[in-house]
Amino acid sequence: FTISNQTVSESCPSNIALIKYWGKYDNQIPANPSISYTLNHCKTNTTIEFLAEEPFSVQTFLAENEEVKFAEKIEKYFNTIEQYLPWILQGKYIIRTENTFPHSSGIASSASGFGAIAKCLMKLDEAFSGQISEEDSLRKASFLARLGSGSACRSLYNGLVVWGESQVRGSSDLFAAKYPDDEIHDIFKDFNDWVLLIHEGQKNVSSTVGHGLMNTNPYADRRFQEARENFGPMKEILASGDLQSFIKLVEHEALTLHAMMMMSDPAFILMKTGTLEVINKIWDFRRQTGLPLFFTLDAGANVHLLFPNDGSEENIKAFIETELLQHTQNNGVVKDVMKF
């Protein structure tokens, strides 16, 4: 390889898991497979300026000034991936990054952030080591993103994405794969995800600590097994378009993620009063109207409101705007539609 001054820019969206990844082995190998929706509009835009003549160092500029230790974290990350990108510890990196969604939203900026960095690194790799096919480049970017933040590997593909060995064709523990398009019913290809910003404070458990707590959680093995088992019904649901079973499974996965945190030692409760109020209102609404509004949660208090574009969406949006927005801090909601 021959290195030279380069400036590369890439953009990568975040994602929200439907079957959750929570618990891992060494080298970011997931304890169970997971499946996610890529959030089309919640992106990180990153530019890397690479100065080949300078000694190795990393400098970062964040639009929102959010993570002071970001440069240090990236430096550590570059060290761990040197075996896959042999040129990486030479030269100076000036990294500029910005998110198109609010930092406080709890939308995973580590997923979009590491996704964007991995894509930039693949552009540099192709400039220094030669071009590879687009498919191989994406797969390697997903592999590299996984080593930064596990869930980031799923952000490299649009639509429904699987990470972790499972019954799904092409799935792997090492990188994510697009869920086969011909096995997805149309209703799942055009979906809404509105994130209700319940609480803006920092979450009180990092995902690194959270994954670690699964090592001593007495329910962990059963949970890993359950997640694997959930892939059976999930595959059938996605193919048949069985929305009612989808709702049941997705909400169960979200509550299980939080139940695992409550059953860990030390215990964590990441839901707030507003989270529970919103969940109960969603359930009341579904009981009363039969309309397909449901939720998932990430490792935080905010609620992802999921609903299809099947003709019921105007009624659902009206309900969210009138009833649910009251439970948010400064009436915040981040709206996304996942279309593929």
Segment lying near ligand PMV (by CB under 6 A), choices 73-81, 130-138, 143-151, 319-327:
143-151
299 contacts ligand PMV (rule: CB under 6 A): yes
CB of 169 to ligand PMV, least distance (A): 20
Residue 265, H or E segment: none
173 contacts ligand PMV (rule: CB under 6 A): no
Distance CA 252, CA 181 (A): 25
Distance CA 60, CA 93 (A): 8
Distance CA 257, CA 22 (A): 7
Choice between 17 and 122, CB closer to ligand PMV: 17
Asked if residues 5 and 50 have their Cβ atoms less than 8 Å apart, the reply is yes
193 contacts ligand PMV (rule: CB under 6 A): no
CB of 149 to ligand PMV, least distance (A): 4
Segment lying near ligand PMV (by CB under 6 A), choices 14-22, 52-60, 71-79, 132-140:
14-22
Choice between 16 and 316, CB closer to ligand PMV: 16
Q: Which of 125, 193, 253, 298 binds ligand PMV (CB under 6 A)?
A: 298
Asked if residues 274 and 327 have their Cβ atoms less than 8 Å apart, the reply is yes
Binding mask of the shown chain, residues 23 to 62, with x at each position contacting ligand PMV by CB under 6 A? -----------x----------------------------
CB of 83 to ligand PMV, least distance (A): 21
**Cis before 180? omega within 30:** no
Best CA proximity match to 192, nearest among 34, 327, 313, 281: 313
Name which of residues 59 to 118 contact ligand PMV (CB under 6 A).
108, 110
CB of 210 to ligand PMV, least distance (A): 7
Determine the residue type at 49: E
Rounded alpha-carbon distances, angstroms, from residue 177 to 118, 163, 269, 285: 16, 6, 32, 35
151 contacts ligand PMV (rule: CB under 6 A): yes
Sign of the torsion formed by the C-alpha atoms of 156, 159, 164 and 167: negative
Choice between 50 and 246, CB closer to ligand PMV: 246
CB of 285 to ligand PMV, least distance (A): 26
Choice between 149 and 166, CB closer to ligand PMV: 149
Q: What is the DSSP annotation of 305-333?
A: EEEE-SS-HHHHHHHIIIIIGGGSGGG-E
CB of 6 to ligand PMV, least distance (A): 28
Distance CA 124, CA 207 (A): 29
User: Interface residues with ligand PMV (CB under 6 A)?
Assistant: 17, 20-22, 34, 108, 110, 149-151, 207, 211, 298-299
